[in-house]
Each structure stands twice: as C-alpha cells, then as structure tokens.
Amino acid sequence: MFESIQVAPADAILGLTEAFRADPNPHKINLSVGVYQDASGKTPVLESVQRAAKRVVEKLSSKSYLPIPGSPAYAAAVQKLMFGADHEAVASGRVATSHTPGGTGALRVAGDLIHQNLPKTTIWLTQPTWPNHPQIFAAAGVPTRTVPYFDAKTNDLAWDELITAVNQIPVGDALLLHACCHNPTGIDPTLDQWNQLADVMSRRGILPLVDFAYQGFANGIEDDAAVLKTLVGPGSELIICSSFSKNFGLYCERVGALSLVAADGKTADAVQSRVKKAIRANYSNPPAYGGELVVTVLSDPELEKLWRSEVDQMRDRINGMRKLLVETLKAKGVPGDYSFITRQRGIFSFSGLTREQVETLKKKHAIYIVGSGRINVAGITKDNVGPLCAAIADVVKG
Ligand SMILES: Cc1ncc(COP(=O)(O)O)c(C=O)c1O
C-alpha cells in the first residue's frame, strides 16, 4: 500500500535549515529559522528557566498523567500573565485555559473545536501569515480564507484594506490575528486600530482567534497583552492560542495554552467540555515538564523578576539589531529607505527582498532567507551584519 504514497514536499522553512547545515561555506548565515539567538548566535536556556529546572527536578514525586487540560496552577499562571491579577473575565470564571503542546497544539485544538462544534465557520487569516496556519486548519478540516494585511509599496500595514475586509467577513466566522510581532511581516496594528478591529468583530459577531506567540517581544509583557483587553469586553467571546516557546526559550518542551473566553461561566464550562473532548482524541493530555517550568518561574517573585529582565534583554537585542541592520545597509550603499525595519517588531522582518534576490543570496553568498524575504533579525550579530549587508548590496544593485 505504501508504494502509492508520493514523497511530500519539504517544509519550506525547516528545509532551508537542512540545506544550511549541509552547506560547507564557513561564512554561511542562517536567517530563516524562527528562533531567538543571542549575540553569539546561540539559542540560550534562560537563567530563570535553569533555576526553575533544578527545583522542578528536586520536588518531582510522580510521572502520572496530568488532567486533560493540564494543571490548574498552569491555567491560573497563564491567565494572570495575559490579563493581570484580577481581571473581570478571570474573576467571573468565564476564561478556561488548557495546557497544549506549544502554540501549534493550541491552534490545532482550536481548529478541532471549531470543526466539531461550529461546522459552518470559516477561519480568516491575514495575507500573509505564518505558513503553518493554513496547514493546521486544513488538517483540522476547517476552511480558511484571507484578508489583506501587508502593503508592499509602503512596507506597512494595509489598514484600509484590512478593516474594509473585516467589515465584510460573514457573521459566525472567525478571524485569526497575531496579538503582536506579526509573523512574517513584523507589522502590528496600533492599539487604536485594535480597538477598531475589536469593535467591528464584536458588533458583527466574528469570533476573534488570537495567536499570542511572542508576548513580551514587541513592547513588553503588559504592553503586548493590552491588545487582549481590547477584545475582552463584557460578554465577549474569543480564543487565545499562547506559546511559551519564544519568551521562555522552551522551544523543545512544547509549552502553550488554549484559553477560551465565553460570555459567562456556564458557557465557558460547556465549551471547555468540548475542548477536553478535542484534546482527548488528539494527544490525550499535555506533557508536564515544560508547564512545570513556567509555573515555577511565574509563582516565585524572584524568578519572575529575573525572567522578565531576560525577556527585556531579548527584545532589546532584537531592536538593537534592527537599528544596526538599517545603519549598515546604508553604510554599504544599499539603495532605498530601509528605516521601516526599525518600526517592525518581533524576531521577523519582511525585508522587501524579492524571491530572485533571496535565491542569489543563497547561491552566491551562502545566506539563507525564506523565499518571501522574511528574515530572522535575531540571527543577526555584530560579526555577521557587515558581510550580510555587503551581500545584500551586491544582489540589490545586481
Ligand atoms: C505566529 C506563530 N504562531 C504559533 C507558533 C507556534 O509556536 P510553538 O513552537 O509554540 O508551537 C509560531 C512559531 O513559530 C508562530 O510564529
């Protein structure tokens, strides 16, 4: 039977990393993969996480299963991080959080929940979006469509087109928005634009599905969560898919969360019972270790303070590299105004490089960038920024 199965195309982004590994050029640079890297090009284990890990191992008493939605302590910690200590939605019991294997797991459970319980719902995605979004929802059996998001002429948000399109999404559909650090463009709506989006969605009965994979990487832990508060008015409904891969550096531990906000506690309980059914048939219950690390950090004031300072450092380094990139492009004589890169947020930047230029950068200079021109700014260091910009100058000037 297997003979009839054709080889699947390699994952566009992870395939590039494989090609990078195989490249013998000692000066090669990989700006394709979506992980944070420090000034020495490493993806570090955070000090706060290292310290939490010791405590978790010491107090380990059982490896028995967790409940289907994970531990209540984890749910409480995630809710506090998103909404603060005493938000009305949390206090009134209308938020239900499940620990999922990463943000990807949360998105898949959200897809299953929608497919199984809201069968007429289409999920609208921004154009462009993280390439895994359409794949995840296709696997869950939920149809997707797109709204415009990026204006290539101005390298900015296509705001008028976006809000016009959101106004035309049919009632009962869902709209997936990135809370901050939009992947792949690095461009986020302003808080005022978020308020307008929230207003249209609640007025028209569109379910907000928020991908929250970079809390703390745009402007700060609380500032980034402010977006959620524009969506959580009295009686409002939404789904938030969190990831702690980036802000805790827990990529391989698979730590994420699906939080649903319903109009009241009774509805939240009913929907959560359906989330549990979806999880049970998907991966049964979550992996405990990464969640324990997050809870340990967030429940100890000293560790939490350390963690917050580490998130600040990661964000500051990325923003510093954005500035250095723009300065060095100018110094190397690359034509054009690249100052938009400093206005983008998160680890990604839509550089404006064309598919052909990206291909030449790979073949001629061993610089690996995703075909869309998306670069991982965190992959830039003081050492590689010079050769990188010289190579960009070469391909841009032709
Ligand atoms: C926008 C977005 N959502 C979700 C995820 C998934 O994160 P995780 O690794 O926690 O599954 C990513 C990871 O790159 C992402 O960029």
* 300 counts as catalytic: no
Residue 2 binned pLDDT confidence (cut-offs 50, 70, 90): very high
In the prediction, which pLDDT does 16 show? 87
Q: Is the CB of 249 under 6 A from ligand 1?
A: no
In the prediction, which pLDDT does 219 show? 96
Question: Under the phi-then-psi rule, with left for phi > 0, alpha for psi from -120 to 50, and beta for the rest, what region is 49?
Answer: alpha
Question: From the alpha carbon of 348, which atom of ligand 1 is closest?
Answer: 16
**Is the model's pLDDT at 11 over the cut of 90?**
no
Q: In this structure, which residue's CA is closest to atom 15 in ligand 1? A: 213
In the prediction, which pLDDT does 18 show? 87
Main-chain phi, psi angles of 353, to 5 degrees = -70, 140
CA angle 346, 362, 181 (to 5 degrees): 10
* 124 counts as catalytic: no
Question: From the alpha carbon of 243, which atom of ligand 1 is closest?
Answer: 10
Distances from the Cα of 253 to the Cα of 123, 283, 294, angstroms: 28, 15, 11
Q: Calculate how far, in angstroms, residue 212's C-alpha sits from the geometric centre of ligand 1.
A: 8
Q: Which residues contact 155 (CB under 8 A, 6 or more apart)?
A: 187, 340, 350, 352
Residue 10 binned pLDDT confidence (cut-offs 50, 70, 90): confident
**Is the model's pLDDT at 27 over the cut of 80?**
yes
What would the pLDDT profile of 347-365 be if each residue is shown by its tens digit? Answer: 999 888 899 999 999 999 9
Query: Which of 104, 149, 177 for mutating ligand 1's site (highest number of atoms within 8 Å of CB)?
Result: 104
Q: What is the C-alpha to C-alpha distance for residues 314 and 298, in angstroms, rounded to an integer?
A: 18
Q: In this structure, which residue's CA is closest to atom 4 in ligand 1? A: 103
Q: Calculate how far, in angstroms, residue 12's C-alpha sits from the geometric centre of ligand 1.
A: 15
Residue 276 binned pLDDT confidence (cut-offs 50, 70, 90): very high
What would the pLDDT profile of 230-260 be if each residue is shown by its tens digit? Answer: 999 888 999 999 999 999 999 999 999 999 9
What is residue 215's three-state secondary structure?
coil
Q: How many CB atoms lie within 10 A of CB 2?
A: 4
Residue 123 binned pLDDT confidence (cut-offs 50, 70, 90): very high
CA angle 89, 94, 99 (to 5 degrees): 100
Q: Is the CB of 344 under 6 A from ligand 1?
A: no
Query: Which of 129, 183, 250 for mutating ligand 1's site (highest number of atoms within 8 Å of CB)?
Result: 183
**Is the model's pLDDT at 324 over the cut of 80?**
yes
Q: What is the C-alpha to C-alpha distance for residues 362 and 23, in angstroms, rounded to an integer?
A: 10
**Is the model's pLDDT at 339 over the cut of 80?**
yes
Mean pLDDT of the residues in the chain: 95
Main-chain phi, psi angles of 381, to 5 degrees = -130, 170
As a whole-number percent, the residues of the chain with pLDDT over 90 amount to 89
The answer to whether residues 221 and 77 touch, using CB atoms and an 8 Å cutoff, is no
The H or E element spanning position 204 is helix 191-204
Strand pairing report for 207-212 and 238-243: parallel
Of 246, 307, 332, 362, which is the active-site residue? 246
In the prediction, which pLDDT does 33 show? 84
Residue 101 binned pLDDT confidence (cut-offs 50, 70, 90): very high
Query: Which of 245, 251, 350 for mutating ligand 1's site (highest number of atoms within 8 Å of CB)?
Result: 245
In the prediction, which pLDDT does 327 show? 96
* 397 counts as catalytic: no
> What is the total residue count of the chain?
398
In the prediction, which pLDDT does 398 show? 73
Residue 124 binned pLDDT confidence (cut-offs 50, 70, 90): very high
